[in-house]
């Protein structure tokens, strides 16, 4: 019969009720009425908390756990785990956790870990999992360590999501800077996927003469063979992603309303389940590749048209560009004049007559007195990019002004609006949104707090009043317009009088056949001792040094915190 000390706590949960009915006399612990006071206290604490908790007691580490910990054991391990030795329940992980348990027992010292990777067979296959945990000693009534208390939570989804976001960022960065044909860009994509832990194999098939042909570097095991071939045809017909065993097949839709240009085939890691998150991941991969192919098509069409045009047609192109640029400049309004800040902005179009860009800047003051700065670059370089720029600029401005929310929330609402208004795959962009808070009374008169969020855009820079330069290399979120369920990251920094914040687009630091770190180094050099220049002089110096004849559009915003007696332009 179960002792009275056990029932009140146990009855509140499923695991507790299971423990009431468990035949403890068949385990090394014996009947609960004989349990040591130290074990009783630990069990009551374990069953009383909603946080995942496990108590192991005795030399065999006999297990008692609560509902939250049971859920982490999965469908197979939870069966029979209660009252069993921990080593028998997790044999595949014992080489990892066993030494830590023995250390806690022998040294009386706790052991902890953050995002610890373990291979865990809990659903019928060996699965890659991650846990943040703490192992603490449990002392019996004689003062000896007789057990271990485990408190922890599973962080697998978080770690895997961050890992996949890094892959998407790298894919987007490399495809954006690529200038080759479709074969070269798809090979770049395959190279990136080849270094992704969530992809066992990858292949890209492109439609050619009515057939699907694998691009170079594709994995031959995912080629167009049976039974996958039937699913290929179905994906091409329905334009919907499909799962085939451990493979995900996603069509490449390059042009709206057109047939698929090919397929992306990804075999997921055997250590991870094939679920909706993997399908969404491959869909984002396919969207990035489709964007790169779209750029190839646009570039080739432009080159073919240029070769065929006469001098009169070329003159017409120049006039069209002039009109487009005039329209684009008309949308880039005069920068705001916030009190206590000196703010200047520039837009420099590319020198290539065939390129009409999607770079933009914006600045305005919200109802609560914040100076809001936005700089961005819509994917692509054509009239669609310019039109998408106008849509996206107006959307962000309206949301930021009306909601008065912090930058991360504004971008989250922008993602939702892009999808909800069905603006299409062209409205994707890198961007930074920064809010310069009004000065507050305090120990640093005139100091300003800056909140910002970054959607796949080059890092902002700060020139301090002492001439030092800091590149704000914080976490970069994915570009705008690809996800609606992303909690975006927000950062904060303080600026003192004389400090200068610099926002810019990638045309300032990215060059063909040149690593991005070289561009950042050049930016640092151009900004060095920039506090000695006025903001207008500093901006002119940056453009003349880094973009004297750029082949890409450049937008630039420079804002300086003024001292109490300073005026803009001083």
Residue 206: what pLDDT? 87
The listed range with the strongest mean pLDDT (139-153, 223-237, 302-316) is 139-153
Same-domain pairing of 220 and 260 = yes
Q: Per DSSP, what are the bridge partners of residue 201? A: 267
What does the DSSP assignment read for 396-415? Answer: HHHHHHHH---HHHHHHHHH
* Predicted pLDDT of residue 1: 42
Q: How confident is the model at residue 550 (pLDDT cuts 50, 70, 90)?
A: low
Can you give the CATH number for the domain in which 284 is found? 3.30.450.40
284: nearest Cα among 214, 380, 201, 192: 192
* pLDDT reported for residue 570: 64
pLDDT of residue 568: 84
Read off the pTM. 0.50
Cα–Cα distance measured from residue 79 to residue 162, given in angstroms and rounded to the nearest whole number: 32
Q: Tell me if 262 is assigned to some domain.
A: yes
3-state SS, one letter per residue, for 300-352: HHHHHHHHHCCHHHHHHHHHHHHHHHHHHHHHCCCCCCCCCEEEEEEEECCCC
Using pLDDT thresholds of 50, 70 and 90, give the confidence band for residue 353: very low
- Domain ends where: 130, 154, 178? 154
Map residue 354 onto helix, strand or coil: coil
Residue 485 lies in a domain: yes
* Residues 252-265: tens digit of each pLDDT: 988 877 788 889 99
Counting every residue written for the chain, the total comes to 570
Express each pLDDT in 99-111 by its tens digit. 999 999 999 999 9
Residue 523 has pLDDT above 70, yes or no: yes
Cβ atoms within 10 Å of 570's Cβ, excluding its own: 11
Question: Dihedral (C-alpha) 376, 380, 381, 383: value to the nearest 10 degrees?
Answer: -100
452 in the same domain as 396: yes
Q: How high is the pLDDT of residue 136?
A: 96
Whether residue 486 lies inside any domain: the answer is yes
CATH number, domain with residue 124 = 3.30.450.20
Do 126 and 185 share a domain, yes or no? no
Do the Cβ atoms of 126 and 120 come closer than 8 Å? yes
Question: 252 near 263, Cβ under 8 Å?
Answer: yes
| Token reading at 329 | 């400049």
Q: Rounded to whole angstroms, how far apart are CA atoms 241 and 232? A: 10
* 472 within a domain of the structure (yes/no): yes
Mean pLDDT to the nearest integer, 407-424: 92
What is the chain's mean pLDDT, rounded? 87
Residue linked to tokens 């002089």: 537
What are 124-134's pLDDT values in tens digits? 888 899 999 99
Mean pLDDT lowest among 219-223, 523-527, 558-562: 219-223
The answer on 163 and 142 residing in a single domain is no
Q: Do residue 344 and residue 294 come from a single domain?
A: no
Same domain (yes/no): 477, 536:
yes
Q: Which one has a higher pLDDT value, 200 or 381?
A: 200
Is the same domain home to 183 and 133?
no
Overall average pLDDT of the 525-541 stretch: 94
Q: Do 169 and 138 have their domain in common?
A: no
Q: Is residue 221 very low, low, confident or very high in pLDDT (cuts 50, 70, 90)? A: low
pLDDT for the residue numbered 226: 46
Please determine, for residue 485, whether its predicted confidence score (pLDDT) is greater than 60. Answer: yes
Lowest mean pLDDT among 25-39, 128-142, 374-388: 374-388
Say which DSSP state 93 is in. Answer: G
Residue 150 shares a structural domain with residue 183: no
**Residues 497 and 364 both lie in one domain:** yes
| Residue 271 pLDDT greater than 70, yes or no | yes
Higher pLDDT, 96 or 211: 96
Final residue belonging to a domain, choices 307, 341, 371: 307
Q: Would residue 568 count as lying in a domain?
A: no
pLDDT recorded at residue 488: 95
Domain count, the chain: 3
Per-residue model confidence (pLDDT) at position 320: 46
Residue 156, SS3 per DSSP: helix
Return phi, psi of residue 208, to 5°: -150, 120
pLDDT at 85 over 90: yes
Angle between helices 14-21 and 37-48 (to 10 degrees): 140
Domain final residue pick, 154, 179, 203: 154
| Residue-level pLDDT at 239 | 87
Domain that holds residue 83: 7-154
The segment with the largest mean pLDDT, out of 387-391, 422-426, 560-564, is 560-564
The answer to whether position 322 is within a domain reads: no
**122 compared with 405, residue with greater pLDDT:** 405
Average pLDDT of the residues in 450-462: 96
Confidence check: pLDDT of 464 > 50: yes
**Using one digit for the tens of pLDDT, what is the confidence trace for 175-191?**
988 888 888 888 999 99
Same domain (yes/no): 177, 144: no
Reference 504, options 433, 450, 556; nearest CA is 556
- Mean pLDDT calculated for residue range 392-405: 92
Domain-located, residue 318? no
Residue 352 has pLDDT above 70, yes or no: no
- Per-residue pLDDT tens over the stretch 490-515: 999 999 999 999 999 998 998 888 88
Contact between 436 and 518 under an 8 Å Cβ cutoff? The reply is no
321 in any annotated domain: no
Q: What CATH number is attached to the domain comprising 468? A: 3.60.40.10
**How far apart are alpha carbons 18 and 83 in whole angstroms?**
10
Residues 428 and 383 in one domain: yes
pLDDT of residue 244: 83
Lowest mean pLDDT among 21-25, 457-461, 511-515: 511-515
Q: Is a pLDDT exceeding 50 seen at residue 362?
A: yes
Q: Is the pLDDT of residue 112 over 60?
A: yes
Which range among 58-72, 309-323, 440-454 has the greatest average pLDDT?
58-72
């Amino acid at each position: 019969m179960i002792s009275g000390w056990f029932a009140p706590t146990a009855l509140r949960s499923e695991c507790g009720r299971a423990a009431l009915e468990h035949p403890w006399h068949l385990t090394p612990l014996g009947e609960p009425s004989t349990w040591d006071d130290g074990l009783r206290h630990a069990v009551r604490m374990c069953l009383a908390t909603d946080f995942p908790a496990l108590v192991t007691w005795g030399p065999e580490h006999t297990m008692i756990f609560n509902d939250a910990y049971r859920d982490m054991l999965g469908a197979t391990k939870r069966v029979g785990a209660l009252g069993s030795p921990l080593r028998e329940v997790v044999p595949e992980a014992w080489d990892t956790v066993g030494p830590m348990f023995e250390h806690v027992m022998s040294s009386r010292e706790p052991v902890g870990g953050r995002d610890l990777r373990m291979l865990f067979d809990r659903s019928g296959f060996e699965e890659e999992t991650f846990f943040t945990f703490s192992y603490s000693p449990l002392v019996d009534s004689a003062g000896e360590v007789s057990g271990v208390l485990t408190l922890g939570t599973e962080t697998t989804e978080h770690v895997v999501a961050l890992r996949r976001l890094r892959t998407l960022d790298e894919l987007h960065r490399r495809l954006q800077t690529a200038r080759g044909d479709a074969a070269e860009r798809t090979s770049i994509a395959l190279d990136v996927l080849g270094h992704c832990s969530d992809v066992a194999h990858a292949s890209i098939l492109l439609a050619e003469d009515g057939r699907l042909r694998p691009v170079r570097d594709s994995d031959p095991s995912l080629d167009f063979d049976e039974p996958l071939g039937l699913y290929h045809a179905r994906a091409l017909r329905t334009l919907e992603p499909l799962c085939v065993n451990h493979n995900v097949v996603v069509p490449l839709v390059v042009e709206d309303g057109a047939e698929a240009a090919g397929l992306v085939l990804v075999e997921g890691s055997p250590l991870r389940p094939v679920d909706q998150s993997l399908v969404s991941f491959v869909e984002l991969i396919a969207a990035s590749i489709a964007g790169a192919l779209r750029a190839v098509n646009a570039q080739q069409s432009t080159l073919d048209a240029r070769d065929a045009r006469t001098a009169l047609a070329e003159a017409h192109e120049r006039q069209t560009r002039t009109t487009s640029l005039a329209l684009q400049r008309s949308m880039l309004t005069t920068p705001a004049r916030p009190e206590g800040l000196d703010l200047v902005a520039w837009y420099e179009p590319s020198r290539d007559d065939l390129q009409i860009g999607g770079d933009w800047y914006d600045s305005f003051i919200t109802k609560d007195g914040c100076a809001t700065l936005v700089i961005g670059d819509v994917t692509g370089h054509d009239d669609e990019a310019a039109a998408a720029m106008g849509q996206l600029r107006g959307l962000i401005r309206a949301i930021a002004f009306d909601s008065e929310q912090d930058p991360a929330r504004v971008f989250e609402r922008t993602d939702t609006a892009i999808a909800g208004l069905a603006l299409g795959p062209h409205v994707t962009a890198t961007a930074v949104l920064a809010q310069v808070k009004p000065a507050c009374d305090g120990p640093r008169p005139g100091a300003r707090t800056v909140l910002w969020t970054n959607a796949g855009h080059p890092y902002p820079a700060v020139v301090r009043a002492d001439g030092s330069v800091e590149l704000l290399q914080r976490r970069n979120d994915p570009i705008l317009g690809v996800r609606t369920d992303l909690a975006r990251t927000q950062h904060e920094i303080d600026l003192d009088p004389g400090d200068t914040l610099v926002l810019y687009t990638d045309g300032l630091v990215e060059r063909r056949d040149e690593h991005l770190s070289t561009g950042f180094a050049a930016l640092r050099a151009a900004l060095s001792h920039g506090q000695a220049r006025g903001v207008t002089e500093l901006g002119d110096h940056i453009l003349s040094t880094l973009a004297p004849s750029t082949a890409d559009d450049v937008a630039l915003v420079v804002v300086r915190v003024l001292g109490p007696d300073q005026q803009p332009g001083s």
